[in-house]
């Protein structure tokens, strides 16, 4: 029995869904604990490519899949995604939605886009899936929860109070058309009818599974550097993707967690605005983008690309308490003559060199990368099945990352398919990481 959190260790799109799918084979329950339809999670299995936004990747193995209370769910997007998956032969009989997950309403979608426009040059580059406004209403205690869609009177009274105030914003601040309470009520009660069979107390369900010694897998969306508290604020999402968020977002106590696995690309990508110290705005960046097919799953935007950043990696180890890493997309580096790893930052104003982030706040913008350059392996790795199949320079690259981050690389992904995977050591039952270098980080 092991309860495991899979968390993005960079800026999202690290290949979390591939890793979740791999581990789901031996799990009983897979839980998404935060985020909403902003996520784009790809699983390539059984000759098919699945792109999930709201539904946990565990559905491919037909495991009990839970959309946890920490999520924000757009029912329209959920039903569209579900219908598409059912058409392709996936089974929804073990799908559960938390009664207390918040609902993304039409005004959240409109406001997300309107707020972005208003920010002008300071825009965040959101996915426009209504994420920020839904979480803002949750915090303001003005949110609609899944259970409200099942009760006409409750939904009506909430909407009668909420929609007029949203209309003031839409009309006066953004010069946009007002919305009709009656129309929203009718549409969302219809969604409620369809969703009723999935809605339950998912925290109780997980607690029961824990009691039965089942294996629970927590699937993170986005990544540590997009975390509302620990990411590159304000260029973040509005939830807590980092490992701590899994307990709050799923409704479980931290004592049930056995392992935290961080998923990281062998380089770095980012979609949307915000700082990215190792970004390559040149031909090498283009090459990473083309070779890695770095196009956003949800928005179709090209992803910004750059070299692996060990400073951010160490930060992720610290914030999440990572036990090990799953390093993905190693194959994308197969053809490079030289590969760089950022080992330190230099403050471009003071000249001070930092091994660990001095601050994720405003000074972060001043950080320029200090690189270590290593030789590329110039051989295909996609068919490698074990560590000894990997070229010597590729093994040295993994060792460099392990040494820099002070965590073992347990899984290496060398292609999008399930069998394009090298398991270096059992990520769940292998030895646990012992705190050493991390404890001496800058304070």
8-state DSSP, 440: G
13 annotated active-site: yes
Residue closer to ligand IMO, measured from CB, 271 or 394: 271
Note if 53 is an active site residue: no
| Beta carbon nearer to Mg ion, 206 or 225 | 225
User: In whole angstroms, what is the distance from residue 283 CA to residue 212 CA?
Assistant: 53
Closer CB to ligand IMO, 270 or 340, in the complex? 270
132 binds ligand IMO (CB under 6 A): yes
45 binds, among Mg ion, ligand GDP, ligand IMO, none (CB under 5 to 8 A by kind): none
State the minimum distance, in angstroms, from the CB of residue 326 to ligand GDP: 9
Residue among 232, 251, 233, 249 at smallest CA distance from 241: 249
Site residues (vs ligand GDP, CB under 6 A): 8, 12-18, 40-42, 44, 297, 328-329, 331-332, 413-416, 420
DSSP string over 196-222: GGGEE-HHHHHHHHHHTT--EEEE--S
User: CB 417 → ligand GDP: shortest distance, Å?
Assistant: 8
12 touching ligand IMO, by CB under 6 A: yes
Rounded to whole angstroms, how far apart are CA atoms 316 and 314? 5
Single out the residue of 20, 38, 203, 413 in contact with ligand IMO (rule: CB under 6 A): 38
> Could you tell me the smallest distance in angstroms from the CB atom of residue 30 to ligand IMO?
14
Per CB under 6 A, 305 contacts ligand IMO:
no
Segment interacting with ligand IMO, rule: CB under 6 A, options 33-41, 87-95, 365-373, 404-412 = 33-41
Pick 272 or 408: Cβ nearer Mg ion: 272
How far is 118 from 149, CA to CA, in rounded Å? 31
- Given Mg ion, ligand GDP, ligand IMO, none, residue 427, with its beta carbon under 5 to 8 Å by kind, binds none
Residue (170 or 226) nearer to ligand IMO, CB: 226
Contact (Cβ atoms closer than 8 angstroms) between residue 324 and residue 433: yes
Work out whether the CA dihedral 182, 188, 192, 193 comes out positive or negative: positive
Q: What is 32-72 written as a DSSP string?
A: E-SB-TT--EEEEETTEEEEESSS-GGGGGT-EEEE-TTBE
Minimum gap (Å) between residue 212 Cβ and Mg ion: 32
CA 360 to CA 19: how far, in whole Å? 28
Q: Is 393 left (phi over 0), alpha (psi -120 to 50) or beta?
A: alpha
> Which position has the token pair 């581990």?
23
Beta carbon of residue 147, minimum distance to ligand GDP (angstroms, whole number): 29
Cβ neighbourhood burial of 361 (10 Å; 0-12, 13-18, 19+): exposed
- With respect to ligand GDP, which residue has the nearer C-beta, 275 or 296? 296
Q: Out of 21, 41, 53, 112, which one is annotated catalytic? A: 41
Out of Mg ion, ligand IMO, ligand GDP, none, which partner does residue 69 contact, by CB within 5 to 8 A per kind?
Answer: none
Going by C-alpha positions, the residue among 376, 403, 407, 404 that lies closest to residue 392 is 376
Cβ atoms of residues 241 and 262 within 8 Å: no
Q: Whole-number minimum distance, CB 373 to ligand IMO, in Å?
A: 28
Count of beta carbons in the 10 Å neighbourhood of residue 86? 11
Which one of ligand GDP, Mg ion, ligand IMO, none interacts with residue 237, CB within 5 to 8 A by kind?
ligand IMO
Residue 227 contacts ligand IMO per CB under 6 A: no
Among 34, 57, 110, 127, binds ligand IMO (CB under 6 A): 127
Instruction: Determine the Cα–Cα distance for residues 139 and 82; give it in Å rounded to an integer.
Output: 28
Q: Which of 222, 242, 278, 381 binds ligand IMO (CB under 6 A)?
A: 222
Q: Is 131 in the site for ligand IMO (CB under 6 A)?
A: yes
- Binding residues vs Mg ion (CB under 5 A): 13, 40, 297
Enter the tokens of residue 99: 């009664």
Name 163's Cβ contacts closer than 8 Å, sequence gap at least 6. 107, 179, 180, 181, 184
- Residues that contact ligand IMO, how many (by CB under 6 A): 22
Q: Report in angstroms how near the CB of residue 412 gets to Mg ion at its nearest.
A: 19
Are 10 and 312 contacting, i.e. CB atoms less than 8 angstroms apart?
A: yes
Dihedrals φ, ψ of 11, to 5°?
Answer: -105, 25
The CA radius of gyration of the chain, in Å to the nearest whole number, is 22
Minimum distance of ligand GDP from residue 35's CB (angstroms): 10
**Partner whose binding site includes residue 30, from ligand GDP, ligand IMO, Mg ion, none (CB under 5 to 8 Å by kind):** none
Q: Which does residue 124 touch among ligand GDP, Mg ion, ligand IMO, none (CB within 5 to 8 A, set by kind)?
A: ligand IMO
By the rule CB under 6 A, 13 interacts with ligand IMO: yes
Q: Of 297 and 414, which has the nearer Cβ to Mg ion?
A: 297
Which active-site residues does the annotation give? 13, 41
Query: Which spans of this chain sit near ligand IMO (rule: CB under 6 A)?
Result: 8, 12-13, 38-41, 124-127, 129, 131-132, 221-223, 226, 237-238, 271-272
């Amino acid at each position: 029995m092991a309860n495991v959190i899979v968390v993005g260790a960079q800026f999202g799109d690290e290949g979390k869904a591939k890793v979740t799918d791999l581990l789901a084979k031996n799990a009983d329950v897979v839980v998404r604990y935060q985020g909403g339809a902003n996520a784009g999670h790809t699983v390539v299995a059984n000759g098919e490519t699945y792109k999930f936004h709201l539904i946990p990747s565990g559905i491919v193995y037909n495991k009990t899949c839970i959309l946890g209370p920490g999520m924000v769910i757009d029912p329209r997007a959920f039903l569209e995604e579900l219908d598409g998956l059912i058409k392709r032969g996936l089974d929804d009989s073990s799908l559960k939605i938390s009664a207390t997950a918040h609902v993304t309403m039409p005004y959240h979608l409109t406001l997300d886009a309107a707020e972005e426009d208003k920010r002008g040059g300071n825009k965040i580059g959101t996915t426009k899936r209504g994420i920020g406004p839904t979480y803002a209403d949750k915090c303001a205690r003005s949110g609609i929860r899944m259970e409200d869609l099942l009760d006409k009177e409750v939904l009506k009274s909430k909407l009668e109070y909420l929609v007029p105030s949203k209309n003031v914003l839409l009309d006066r601040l953004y010069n946009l058309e007002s919305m009709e309470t009656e129309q929203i009520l009718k549409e969302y009660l219809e969604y409620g009818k369809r969703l009723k069979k999935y809605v339950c107390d998912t925290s109780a369900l997980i607690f029961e599974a824990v009691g039965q010694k089942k294996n629970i897998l927590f699937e993170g969306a986005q990544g540590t550097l997009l975390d509302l508290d620990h990411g590159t604020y304000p260029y973040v999402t509005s939830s807590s993707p980092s490992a701590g968020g899994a307990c709050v977002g799923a409704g479980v106590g931290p004592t049930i967690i056995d392992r935290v696995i961080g998923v990281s690309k062998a380089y770095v990508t980012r979609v949307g605005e915000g700082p990215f110290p190792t970004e390559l705005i040149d031909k090498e960046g283009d090459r990473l983008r083309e070779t890695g097919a770095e196009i956003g799953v949800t928005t179709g935007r090209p992803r910004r690309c750059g070299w692996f950043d060990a400073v951010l990696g160490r930060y992720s180890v610290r914030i999440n308490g990572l036990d090990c890493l799953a390093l993905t997309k190693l194959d994308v580096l197969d053809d490079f003559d030289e590969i760089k790893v950022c080992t330190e930052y230099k403050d471009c104003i003071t000249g001070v060199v930092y091994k660990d982030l001095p601050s994720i706040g405003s000074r972060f913008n001043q950080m320029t990368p200090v690189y270590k350059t290593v030789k590329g392996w110039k051989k295909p790795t996609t068919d490698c099945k074990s560590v000894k199949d990997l070229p010597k320079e590729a093994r040295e690259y993994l060792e460099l990352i392990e040494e820099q981050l002070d965590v073992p690389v347990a899984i290496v992904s060398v292609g999008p398919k399930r069998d394009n995977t090298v398991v270096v050591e059992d990520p769940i039952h292998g030895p646990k990481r012992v705190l050493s270098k991390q404890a001496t980080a800058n304070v």
